[in-house]
Amino acid sequence: MGNSVVTINNLVKRFPVGGDFFTALKNVNLSLEKGEFTGLVGPSGSGKTTLLNVIGGLDSPSEGSVTVLKKSLGETSHNERAELRRKNMGFIFQSYNLLPVYTVFENVELPLILNKVDPQERYNKVAQAIEWVGLSDKINSRPAMLSGGECQRTAIARAIVHEPTLVLADEPTANLDAENSHHIMKIMVKLNKELSTSFIFATHDEKIMDYLRRIIHLDDGQIINDEQIDRPKSGS
C-alpha cells in the first residue's frame, strides 16, 4: 500500500440503457504500484475504457471503492477530483483531443496554465516536454498541420508536461501506423523510466503489449487474468 497509486475494491459500474442497466464492470479488484507500465487489455466492450475513466475520476463508480494517490474518489468532491487530475494525472486519448486553434506549444502549455505555473518556468517545461517527444521543430504548428503520429506525440507531451504521477492512455496507438506506434511507445517507456511516471493503457493493440510489464486481461467487465511480465518483448 505504501507505493500504491491505484487501489480498487469490488468496483461495479452500471450504465442506464433504456429502462434497464448495463453492467460494464463487475466486482473489479486491482492494485497498481508507482512506476508501473500496465495495460488493460480486452476486446471491445470488455470494460477497459470504463475502468480507465473511473480511475481518472471521469466516471463515478456505481459500487465499491476506488482510491487514487491515497484519495478515495467516492469521498472527494468534484473540485478535489479536478485538483487531483490537474496536479497528478495526465490523459492521452485515441483521438488526441488537441485544441485545433492552438499551436503545439500552447496545447502542451495548458496543464501548466491550469496549475498556475509562472510563465518563465512554464516556457522551460513546455520546451523540455516537446523536446522529449521530438517535436521541437513543430513548436508553432497547429494540429491540422501535423501527422497523426505528431498529434499523438503532442498529446503525450501535454500529458506529461506537469510531471504527473499517473498517465492514463486510452488506445493511444489505435489511429497510428506501426512505425508511429513503436515510436510513441518508446517515448512512453523512456518517460516511465526517467520520470517514474506510472502508465495505464487501455488497448487491444498487439504492438503495445510488447512493451507492457503488466497486462490485465478484461472480459465482460471482469478481470480474467493479471499477468506480470519480467522481460517485455521490446526489451523495455
Partner 1 sequence: MIKFLTKGIIRDRSRSLFPVLVVTLAVAMIIFFQGFFTGIMNSMFLDSAVVSTGHVKVMTRGYKEESQLLPNDLALLGTDQLVNELGQDYPDLFWSPRITFGGLLDVPDENGETQAQGPVLALGIDFLSPKSRQIEIWKLERRLIDGRLPENANEALLSTRLAGQLGLSSGETVTLIGSTMYNAFTTFNFTVVGTFKLNLGPVDRQMMLVDITGARLALDMENASSEILGYTNSLYYDDTAAVALRGRYNKINSDSTDIFSPIMMALRDVNQMGTMVDYMSAASGLIVGVFLVISMIVLWNMGLMNGLRRYGEIGMRLAMGESKGQVYRSMIMESVIIGFIGTIIGTAMGLGLTYYMQEVGLDYSDAMESLGSTEIIMSNVFYAQVTPELYYIGFMPGVLATVLGTMLAGRAIYKREMAQLFKELET
What radius of gyration, in Å, describes the C-alpha atoms of the chain?
17
C-beta of 91: minimal distance to partner 1 in Å? 5
Beta 89-92 vs 198-203: how paired, if at all?
A: unpaired
Contact footprint for partner 1 (CB under 8 A)? 50, 53, 56, 58-60, 78-79, 82-87, 89, 91, 93-95, 97, 99-102, 106, 109-111, 113-115
Report CA-CA distances (Å) from 107 to 147, 185, 214, 226, 233.
Answer: 16, 21, 31, 35, 33
Q: Are 201 and 172 in contact (CB under 8 A)?
A: yes
Nearer to partner 1, 37 or 96 (CB): 96
Helices (H) and strands (E) in the chain, counts: 7, 10
C-beta of 210: minimal distance to partner 1 in Å? 26
Nearer to partner 1, 81 or 138 (CB): 81
Nearer to partner 1, 89 or 189 (CB): 89
Nearer to partner 1, 53 or 192 (CB): 53
Dist CA 143 CA 5 (whole Å)? 32
C-beta of 65: minimal distance to partner 1 in Å? 18
C-beta of 161: minimal distance to partner 1 in Å? 11
